[in-house]
């Protein structure tokens, strides 16, 4: 689901007073500026570093890090699939108890968040391990077939037959080492923190990890595919954000790290602040994979300048900044 939403009034003074019967003091201009600036910075980081990592990912030979290529057909179908998913979630929240739905979603994103965060911090953590660290290699291999077919390895000669056994289709083939297990343990601490407290910092750590992994591992095959995807999602956003209240309702009801949040009352309440500005991960990942494509194109030209990458990155900064400004003026979620 593309959660293209920027709504700073989740729990604003007016909404909070109406719902809770109490009056929440309005956020200060300094607090609002800090929240908007932090959201802008958090949006830029996964795009920039995700684009750089997408270059290494495209050149890599590790099967566990192979990118997922988005074709023109995938791009054309994506807005339809996203619309069905969004509407389905909206109906679920209307029909069933929000508490139980969010409990299931929390468990689901708990597992995904740990894996995404572990993959994100692994390159940085490798610099802190001493040379003497016993870095054993492991492989998680899950194949289709009976034990007889797998005995002796894939494609190995059958004893006494002189023949080669058929290859067993691989379902999962993931290679990792002891350092990855350490990163997985550290990420699990964040996961438990998020599961128990739903703290906004833990939410943002998972959100940033999802965004960076999305930009790194989702690759467009060409510019025309990117234009189809962005054009289709533009229409999708116009309809669901301005034509209905579905997007805003789902985003506010959905207790999962699908959005980055930052409190506007941080200066007054510290880390326990609860008046959040938010930015959907779709506003980061979808433009990010297009910007990453342009970086890979720049590098393929074998020139010292990355004109297309820096131009598109600057355009994204301008567009997101303008969106936040208009959103603040008109007090309405923007696509």
Rounded Cα gap, residues 288 and 309, in angstroms:
11
Rounded Cα gap, residues 98 and 195, in angstroms:
16
Rounded Cα gap, residues 334 and 282, in angstroms:
12
Active site residue 283: yes
Cα 163–chain centre separation? 47
Rounded Cα gap, residues 210 and 220, in angstroms:
17
| Token duo for residue 325 | 């400004």
Rounded Cα gap, residues 164 and 161, in angstroms:
8
| Distance set, CA 331 to CA 7, 8, 290, 321 (Å) | 8, 8, 29, 15
Q: Are 35 and 48 in contact (CB under 8 A)?
A: no
DSSP string, 23-84: PPPPPPHHHHHHHHHHHHHHHHHHHHHHHHHHHHHHH---GGGPPEEEPHHHHHHHHHHHHH
Rounded Cα gap, residues 316 and 322, in angstroms:
10
- Which of 2, 237, 265, 298 is flagged as catalytic? 237
State the catalytic residues. Answer: 237, 283
């Amino acid at each position: 689901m593309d959660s293209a939403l920027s709504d700073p009034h989740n729990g604003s003074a007016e909404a909070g007073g109406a719902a809770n019967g109490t009056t929440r003091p309005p956020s200060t201009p300094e607090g609002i500026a800090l929240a908007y600036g932090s959201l802008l910075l958090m949006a830029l980081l996964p795009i920039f570093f995700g684009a750089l990592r997408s270059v290494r990912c495209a050149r890599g030979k590790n099967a566990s890090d192979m990118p997922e290529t988005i074709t023109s057909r995938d791009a054309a179908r994506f807005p339809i699939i996203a619309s069905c998913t969004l509407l389905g979630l909206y109906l679920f929240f209307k029909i069933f108890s929000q508490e139980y739905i969010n409990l299931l979603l929390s468990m689901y994103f708990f597992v995904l968040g740990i894996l995404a965060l572990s993959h994100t911090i692994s390159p940085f953590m490798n610099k802190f391990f001493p040379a003497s660290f016993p870095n054993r290699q492991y492989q998680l291999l899950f194949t289709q077939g009976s034990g007889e077919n797998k005995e002796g390895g894939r494609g190995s000669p059958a004893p006494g037959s002189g023949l080669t056994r058929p290859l067993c289709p691989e379902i999962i083939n993931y290679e990792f080492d002891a350092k990855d297990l350490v990163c997985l343990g550290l990420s699990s601490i964040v996961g438990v923190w998020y599961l128990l407290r739903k703290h906004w910092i833990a939410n943002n750590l998972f959100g940033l990890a999802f965004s960076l992994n999305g930009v790194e591992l989702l690759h467009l095959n060409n510019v025309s595919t990117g234009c189809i995807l962005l054009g289709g999602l533009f229409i999708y956003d116009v309809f669901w954000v301005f034509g209905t209240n579905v997007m805003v309702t789902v985003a506010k009801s959905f207790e999962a790290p699908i959005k980055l949040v930052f409190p506007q009352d941080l200066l007054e309440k510290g880390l326990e602040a609860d008046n959040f500005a938010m930015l959907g991960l779709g506003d980061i990942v979808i433009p990010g994979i297009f910007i990453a494509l342009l970086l890979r194109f720049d590098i393929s030209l074998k020139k010292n300048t990355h004109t297309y990458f820096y131009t598109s990155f600057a355009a994204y900064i301008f567009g997101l900044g303008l969106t936040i400004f208009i959103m603040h003026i008109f007090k309405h979620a923007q696509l």
